[in-house]
Amino acid sequence: MDMIVLAVAALATWRISASLYYGKEFGALRRHFTLAEDADGQPLTWVGRQLACFWCVTFWVAWPVALVARAWWYALIPLALSGAAILSSGGGRVIWRSMSE
């Protein structure tokens, strides 16, 4: 895979994952799957546990992004540009801080 395609796919993966994990537009989806918790406060369902972990979200998002990048990587450019803009404006630090809390 060309380095440009790899960079575009990586930034697109980050952008989609950040939206799924932190975005308000997916808040209802996250709440639906993470609503029921065990005694330790962990989601009961497998999907809920995956959505409650940013690193897990990036792993699962990377699969479809890799497939798209293989065939239609140009479709990922808007997501990659958005991800790069957010990261360069300090958005990555905000997410990192919220993950360490």
- DSSP secondary structure letter of residue 44: S
pLDDT mean over 33-59: 80
With tokens 């801080």, the residue in question is: 97
57-77 pLDDT per residue, tens: 889 999 999 999 888 888 889
Q: How many domains does the chain have?
A: 1
The whole domain housing 12 covers: 3-100
- Of residues 21, 22, 72, the one with CA closest to residue 64: 72
pLDDT band at 99 (very low <50, low <70, confident <90, very high): low
9-42 pLDDT per residue, tens: 999 998 898 888 887 878 787 777 777 777 777 7
- The answer to pTM > 0.85 is no
- Of residues 18, 45, 17, the one with CA closest to residue 33: 45
